[in-house]
Amino acid sequence: MLFNSLDFAIFLPIVFILYWFVTQKNLRLQNGLIVVASFVFYGWWDWRFLSLLLFSSMVDYVAGLAMMKEQRQRRRKWYLILSIVSNLGLLGFFKYYNFFLESFTAAFSFFGMPIHAGTLYIILPVGISFYTFQSLSYGIDVYRRKLEPTRDPIAFLAFVSFFPQLVAGPIERATHLLPQFQKARVFDYSKAVDGLKQILWGLFKKMVIADNCGQFADLIFSQSESYHGSTLLLGAFFFAMQIYGDFSGYSDMAVGLSKLFGFDLMQNFSFPYFSRSIAEFWRRWHISLSTWFRDYLYIPLGGNKKGKAKTIRNTFITFLVSGLWHGAHLKYLAWGGLHALYMLPHLIKTKTAKRESAIAPGKFLPGWKEGFSILFTFILVLLAWIFFRANSLAQADQIFSEIFSRSMLTIPQVLPRKILVLLAFFLLFEWRGRNSLYAIEKTGSQWPIWTRWLFYYFILLLIFLEGGREQPFIYFQF
């Protein structure tokens, strides 16, 4: 079920009414409703994969209780290994079986020993990369004694399957979200209104910006051999806007929907395209995943505590695994590896310059130095997106060859003016709200009420006029 679908427009009010008007006085019943609603939401796509969600949840629930009762460290470690193997085993089979099989046979063929192995037609369950990581972090935190395991299976199922963030994040930690299922929620009108504003902006980012930019990105990348370098670079720009609008739009909707039900989810995007360095970009892009890899991979490998060489090694491992998390394809490894290379100057520096978290505070425009840093960082990110979006490494190579040629000096062959106007409107409000939780969080707070509502209706009108047909979210395929 898509947030931007008629089905969800019917589903949400029904769940909201039952949640606040029928089950409000019974916490366990309220959590049970969330579980049922979440299973309906997920099963709407393919009910058969509900068994995977349930299996992953139950393994970690049981492993958590076993670790709590067991004092012997060796036994506790075995329960943790059970959790890790179960979760990563499911993820590995559905997402990487054919990739590793093909790589294995290609390696033997390269050394003159061809072997034949049949691949399987495997459907990738929506959201499996997200909910397995969320459930897996619970077991790891229990093992580290950072979290007391819950005895309530309903609350735990609600935590793993919570429908606003089930299929594309944010990837929540049990230490933050699980306690919210264990205490009574009270309807907060101001929080609900704030949630509706964030949902509205998320819908605008997805349906107006991402889906329209996606049409032209698809057109240009599907016929890349026919276009000049300037057009291909514009195609990469459209994809950069598409993936940001699509994924951060989903996150805005997930956070906003959670507020309607009395929950607080973590911020998953913090205006990453206004970053002043690659290190800052990764503190602002897909925050829930980058912090997950930091806490459960980078730091356990040694982080930056064991010298420059190992810091660089750990960084490359983390970025390559992050690339592979996005998909079983060499292009994602190239994308992750390129970002690791981007990080090298930051890692090699003897002293790391500390930047203030706010971007151009109190200014309408940044200073020339800060503006150059933002532009340069965006260009680096934009070029890396070419690997991510290309159909293959060969196509990426062809696109780069054309971009770094004289054809870059030509006028783009595709120049959709209406989309460029919409992007200018979008980026203006993103820049105005760059130091808020989302772009229009504070927009209109000092305006007369009629002006504020006129602005909201204008955004809604753009969604209806420019939204087009239902389009799935890009990160559903990851």
Would you please indicate which residues are annotated as catalytic (active-site) residues? 326
User: What angle do the packed helices 229-260 and 189-203 form, to 10 degrees?
Assistant: 160
* Helix-, strand-, coil-residue percentages of the chain, each rounded to 5: 70, 0, 30
What H or E segment, with its residue span, contains residue 382?
helix 368-389
Angle (nearest 5°) at CA 80 between 96 and 314: 60
Q: How far lies 310's CA from each of 110, 140, 292, in Å? A: 31, 24, 20
In single-letter form, the type of residue at position 435 comes to: N
Contacts of 330 (CB under 8 A, 6+ apart): 393
Task: Tell me the C-alpha distance between 122 and 126, whole Å.
Answer: 12
User: What angle do the packed helices 330-348 and 393-403 form, to 10 degrees?
Assistant: 60
Which string of DSSP letters, residue by residue, matches 221-232?
HHTGGGS-HHHH
Task: Tell me the C-alpha distance between 195 and 189, whole Å.
Answer: 10
Which string of DSSP letters, residue by residue, matches 292-358?
HHIIIIITTTTTTSS-HHHHHHHHHHHHHHHHHHH-SSHHHHHHHHHHHHHHHHHHH-SSPPPPPSS
Residues 154 and 32: beta-carbon distance below 8 Å: yes
φ and ψ at 411, to 5 degrees? Answer: -75, 135
